[in-house]
Structure formats: structure tokens, C-alpha cells
Structure 1
Amino acid sequence: MSHIFKKLKTLMHTYSHAWVLLYAFIYFPWFTYLERHVTDNYFVIHSIFDDYIPFCEYFIIPYLLWFAYIAVTLGYLFFNDKQGFYKASAIMFSGMTIFLIICTVFPNGLNLRPEVFTRDNFCIELVKRIYQTDTPTNVLPSLHVYNSICCYIAISHCEKLQHSRLIQKGSLVLSILIILSTMFLKQHSVVDVVAACVMAYFLYTLIYAQEGAKSPRLARQVI
């Protein structure tokens, strides 16, 4: 029995940073409240550039990969880079909190989604499911865009991954595709995307700037 307690104590010490994940108990109830109450009385986000971006259902693939991208990035850092996990959590959760505050005091949404689909295929069916489960509200800034940028920043700053060009380039490409997917699927306006990029840059300078100053090459790579 004492052997089991020693193992549990070791595990608790090794993964003591798991407390950060308690943020989920703040984020999800708050976001669920917004999704249920911001339904029709909201400010419509729109940009003239949105009208020039065509709907393309095939972007549903990188859009859905976002969920795995976030989970894998945080999971890898959790088990392999404690400080990297703390920083990634700090930048992600700070931005997510700002997002919640913005959507609470400034209810917002979109009217960009196509009303009729002119073709039918597997990707269209996936888009329909997303449209059914995800309301076109609470969109500014785009968390899909913001957290994708945060994942790339975290991976770029992870010492164990800095020498893996495949992972670095793959992370960059996936992040770009996810950002584009939000606009081509009409899930977000260009305004949402720009706002997410600005927020990511601002919080990056607060959380990672000191590290970047110590490593100019790495800072240039991320920026």
C-alpha cells in the first residue's frame, strides 16, 4: 500500500501543473451561457472583404483538425515541457478570457453562412453538422485563429521541437490552413481573423517577449 502512495505522490509532483486545466471549469460554463443567450440581439460583424471570399466546403478538413491540433500540442507540452505548457496555457487562456469578456459586453455574430448548398458531398455534410452545433454568434475575435497561432508559437518555442523542421513547417502550414478555413467556411469574418492576430501578437509580446529577446533567431522565426 505504501508503494502505491509513493507512486501517487510522485505522479502528483511530476504533473503538479495539471491544476492549470481547471480553467475549463471557468471557460465552458461561461461560453455555454453566451451561446444560449446571444441568439438574435447582437452586432453583425462584416467586412467588404468577406464578400470576395467564396465558400469552399473542403476547408472543413483543416477546420476540424483544429481540435486535434490544440489537444496534441497541449498534451505534448504537458508531458514533455512543463514550462512550455505553462506559457502555452497562459497565452491561450488569457486570450480565451479576453474573448469571453468581449462577447459578454459586446454581443456579436455573423450573417455570412450560405442559406442553400448548390452541391452535395461528404464535406458539405460535415459543414452542415458544424452549422447545426455551432451558432454564428460569439465570433470576435476568432478562437480558431487565435489558438492556432498560439499552438504554432508554443511549438516554435519548445526546445525539444526546435530542430524538427517537419514539425515546425507542418505546424505553420496547418495553422495557416486553419486560419483560411474560418473564412472559406463562412465561420468568421476577416474582422474576426484580424482581431485574433492582433490579440495573439499583443499577448505574445507579454508572455514570450523576454524569451525572444534571449533568442533573436527564434523570435524572428515566430514573428
Structure 2
Amino acid sequence: MTAKNNWKQFLHRYKHIWVLSYILIYMPWFLYLEKHVTKDYHVIHTALDDYIPFCEYFIIPYLLWFAFIAVTFLWFFLYDTSGFYKMAAFLFTGMTIFLIISTIFPNGQDLRPTHFARDNIFVDMVKALYKTDTPTNVLPSIHVFNSIGVCVAICHNSQLYSKKWIRYGSLALGIFIILATMFLKQHSVVDVLAAGCMATILYPVVYMRESRKAADLSSQPIKG
């Protein structure tokens, strides 16, 4: 009974856990695309990509992305319900748009090197990444979009934003993650720009709507 009561208390306190059910939509859809988009896809490549050198050391911030997203998501889930809803709305809307684009416009890239100039543990980590992650479904980059989304969420939380090491640390990590997608040849510059554009469009929809409402209310005359 104690375990059952604890679970009920948890659900009562964290009712917003239902938001996480989105994973039941995203993962099957994404895995389907990963399995079926293997040929006859549009190659995303621009001349600028050829000027960006491969650098295996960027595997560190690239992999830190997973912890970055998970830890921030968990913090908002536990301590800022309103911010959690906004961040989830921002991230999940963008991720759904990504799935739709990948479905109607199958895409991939041909940037990955076949030979490596160096042989070290970081190159081994990149090789392992290449084996587990297909070079398809890259537009827009979810690594980039979610990094932007997490940084935006942190900036909109006064408690986190007031701590300089969190504010600047998250911004620095976000920048390195974005650079990593290109220096590891995981994404084209086009994928990165597309993610930035999508974030720019969704930001006012998710985060500025309440600010506009508050401004409208404050401008209304007080009735006596």
C-alpha cells in the first residue's frame, strides 16, 4: 500500500508527466524513417560544407547533448511546471515538424569521411557513432534545434538565468554542440540553418504569447 500511495502522490504532484507520452509518437515514427529512408533520398550538401574540416574532438560536446537535454528537461519537470510545458511545446513541435519534413522529403547527407588522418580514442568514438546513427533524416538538425530550445528555456527561468555559470555554461555548451554537428560531418550547414530558422519561428509562438497578453492587460484602464 505504501508504494501505491507514494505513486499516487507522485502522479498528483507531477500531473504534467503525461507530456512525456509524446515519446510514444516520436520514437516509432523516427525508427520507421531510420529503417525505410535508406536510398532515393535528397542529399543535403552545400559548398560551404567542404570548407569545414573534420575534427574528431567534437565528439565530446556532441555526446554531451544527450545529458544536456535530459538533465535540463528533468530539472524543469521537477521545479518549473510552467517552464516545462513551454519547453516541451517548443521541443516537441519542432521535433514533429522534423518528422513531417523527413517523411514527405526524404533526406540525407554524404559528408562523412571514409578515411581518418588520425587514430585515437576520439576517432573510435566517431566510428561507433557512424555505425549506430544513419546519415539520413538530417533536415533540420534536432541536435541543433533542441540545444537552442534548452538554452531558451534556461534564459526564461529566473532562477537558472540568475546563475552566471549556468547561463554562460549552457550557452557555451549549446554553441559547441552546434559546431560539433558540422565538424563531425553529421550535418550540413543547411541542416543547422534550417534548425535555427525553425527555432526563430517557434520562439514567439511559444514564449512571446504570454508576454503580449500581459502587456495588453497592463495597458487596459483600471475600472473603479
Could you state the TM-score of these two structures normalised by the residue count of structure 1?
0.92
Q: Match of 2:220?
A: none
Does residue 104 (structure 1) correspond to residue 122 (structure 2)? The answer is: no
Residues 137, 5 of structure 1: CA spacing in aligned structure 2 closer, same or farther, 3 A cutoff? closer
Give 1:129-208 correspondences, 5 Å limit: 129-208=128-207
Shift of 1:107: 0.2
What is the CA deviation profile of residues 15-50 of structure 1, one whole-angstrom value per residue up to 9, with x for unaligned ones? Answer: 110000000010000000000000011000011110
1:18 matched to 2:21? The reply is no
**RMSD across aligned positions (CA):** 1.4
State the AA in 1 paired with 2:156: H
Q: Which residue of 1 aligns with 2:61?
A: 62
Query: What's the CA shift for 1:171?
Result: 0.5
Percent identical pairs in the alignment equals 59
Of residues 137-146 and 202-211 in structure 1, the stretch that sits farther from structure 2 once superposed is: 202-211
Counterpart Cα distance in 2 of 1:142 and 1:194: 9
1:159 Cα offset (Å): 2.3
3-state SS in 1 of match to 2:117: coil
* Larger of the two Rg values belongs to structure: 2
Of residues 204-213 and 21-30 in structure 1, the stretch that sits farther from structure 2 once superposed is 204-213
| Residue in 2 that maps onto 1:46 | 45
The CA deviation string for residues 143-187 of structure 1, in whole angstroms up to 9 with x for no partner, is 000000000001111122121011000000000000000000000
Corresponding residue for residue 90 of structure 2? 91
In 1, Cα distance between equivalents of 2:170 and 2:189: 22
Q: Which runs of 5+ in 1 are unaligned?
A: 216-223
How many residues matched?
214
Matched AA of 1:36: K
Aligned CA distance change for structure 1 residues 130 and 5 (closer, same or farther; 3 Å): closer
Structure 2 unaligned regions, length at least 5: 216-224
Match of 1:72 in 2: 71
3-state SS of 1:208 partner: helix
4+ aligned runs moved over 2 Å, structure 1: 3-10, 210-215
- 2-side partners of 1:182 and 1:7: how far apart? 42
User: Counterparts of 1:26 and 1:179 in 2: how far apart (Å)?
Assistant: 26
Aligned in 2, Cα 1:212/1:179: closer, same or farther, shift over 3 Å?
farther
Deviations 1:88-118 (A, max 9, x none): 1000000000000000000000000001112
